[in-house]
Amino acid sequence: MTVSNNVQQDEEDDDVKLPIKPAFDPEYVWTLLALSKESPVSRGKAKIKHGSKLEQDARVAQKVRKWTEGVAIAQEQVASHCGITYTEAEVTGLHMSFHQKNQESQREFLFNNLKEYQAVRKGNDAKTQTRWSAPLRDHEHNICSCCWRELQGHIDEGRYKRAMRAVKTGAQNVLPRSSNKKRTTSGKTMSASAWLRTFGKDVGDFMPNENMIQLPAARVQELYGIYVQELAEDEERTLSRQAFGRMMKKEQIKYACKQMKKFSKCNECSRLDVDLQLAMNTPLCSVAKANKEVHRVHVTAQKSKYYKHRQKGKSSRTCSIWLSIIIDGMDQAKTCVPRLHRNPKNLDGHDVLNVHLTGVIIHGHLHQLYTWVDNFPKDSNVTATVLLEALKDLKKLKGPKYEHPRNLYLQLDNCSGENKNRFFLTFLALLVQLGVFDRIKLSFLQVGHTHEDIDQLFSRLSTLWVSCDIFSVD
């Protein structure tokens, strides 16, 4: 007897601890659905959590309020417009079955129903208005399209029209909104893209063998820091780190940030990179970054000057005043003769004819190549001769009445044996003394930052010669 009383008492305690919920509680049902959609999303091996607990509760409450209002709106509209009364439980069940689906399943559900509707509509008389069968009712009850949208899940009108347009055009499935309409680019993205192009043009090295600009920054994070710093000075809004990376990938030209550069690296850049790596996460990190920024600004100023004078030689307004010329030599290892694209083993170790190739670009006028062999010493005489031959070829191209501009801007490589010596400077002074030019500007870019448009010309030749057999200089 005592035992039975204890069992009866335990059952009464259990009834007190577990409150009985009502048979139908729409708010409770919607809350469960909203919480299921707020669960962490898996992407690869990582899980993305949707903010803090307070933010999650706020989103859940907003979704529950939106869905509850949608049920009330659907009940009222169907009753007033089509004269059919639905209970709150019936509308909630219809809405729940729709919102439980993911976006793709919702689009498929809407598309399939509209496809059936359109097929029935084509079979009916043109004067007969085709209406939807009322869900959860017999076939004698029918409703309009607006009420059907409201009953099936408070479907947005724009979404309904996009699906109907896809059905009418004969599409196999309806595309998401982002695929139907291209999003407009924001002002921040356009500003970041313009900054990246300017930065790449000023301090980047254009790869001659591919459509890529190699930036001086070793990592994208370092490049993003420079971007934020420069735009912060002008008080402009900036992109996030992830958005900046996506913007870089969408550019037509590939911008690369690599620790191991394809070209020979500037000595100063190498030293500053080592200092920055050693000072990372220390108080000296800001000093190392400032030193690298000073060097970058210096290189930018030098390249901007070259681009400015190059544009003067191309522009129709200033080409009669300025003549812009760049001279450089190609890698001798790629110009030996004979050169076979499939070199047989019995030719290994044999002597070849070393042919030197010097390229000249007179901006806005011509591209020219000059060859010479080891019979001539590799000194300033070669550069002086190539410059005179280029001027003579320009005269032949333009005609006997052509008079070249009186101001020359000459861009050369940092080679002391051919360019940076007193003999070549004396030759340029002689051109001014004889009246060939009124003024000559001679420029040398920073060592390690001299890769310009003429290197791209050499790369195209190297790519062409890979599949060719060359047996003589001619």
Q: Is the pLDDT of residue 272 over 50?
A: yes
Consecutive H or E run containing 41: strand 41-43
List the chain domain ranges: 53-176, 188-302, 318-465
Q: Measure the CA–CA gap between 227 and 251, rounded to whole angstroms.
A: 16
Say if residue 377's pLDDT is above 70.
Answer: yes
The CA distances from residue 31 to 22, 92, 133, in Å, are 15, 13, 30
> What pLDDT does residue 135 have?
84
Beta pairing, strands 41-43 & 439-444: unpaired
Predicted confidence at residue 427, as pLDDT, reads: 93
Structural contact between residues 367 and 361, judged by C-beta atoms closer than 8 angstroms: yes
Residue-level pLDDT at 53? 76
What mean pLDDT do residues 146-168 have?
Answer: 86
CA of residue 86 relative to chain centroid, distance: 52
Q: Give the residue, 461 or 101, on which the prediction is more confident.
A: 101
318-353 pLDDT per residue, tens: 888 999 999 988 876 667 777 776 666 666 666 777
How many whole angstroms separate alpha carbon 144 and alpha carbon 134?
A: 9
Mean pLDDT of the region 237-256: 85
Query: What are the tens digits of pLDDT across the range 34-91?
Result: 888 776 544 444 444 455 678 788 888 888 888 888 888 888 888 888 888 888 888 8
Which range among 9-13, 157-161, 469-473 shows the weakest confidence by mean pLDDT? Answer: 9-13
Predicted local distance difference test score (pLDDT) of residue 22: 52
For residues 96 and 33, is the Cβ–Cβ distance under 8 A? Answer: yes
Q: Please state which of the ranges 30-34, 103-107, 179-183, 355-359 shows the lowest mean pLDDT.
A: 179-183
Token representation of residue 215: 């930036």
pLDDT of residue 384: 92
pLDDT at 439: 93
Peptide bond into 338 cis (omega under 30): yes
Which conformational region is residue 299 in: left (phi greater than 0), alpha (psi within -120 to 50 degrees), or beta? alpha
Helix axis angle, 422-433 relative to 380-398, nearest 10°? 30
Query: Domain 318-465 is in which class?
Result: alpha beta
Write out pLDDT tens, residues 5-26: 444 444 444 444 444 445 567 7
Q: For residue 117, what pLDDT band results from cuts at 50, 70 and 90?
A: confident
Q: Identify the pLDDT of residue 458.
A: 77
Cα R_g (the chain), whole angstroms: 38
Check pLDDT > 80 for residue 443.
yes
pLDDT of residue 423: 92
Q: How far apart are CA 220 and CA 111, in angstroms?
A: 43
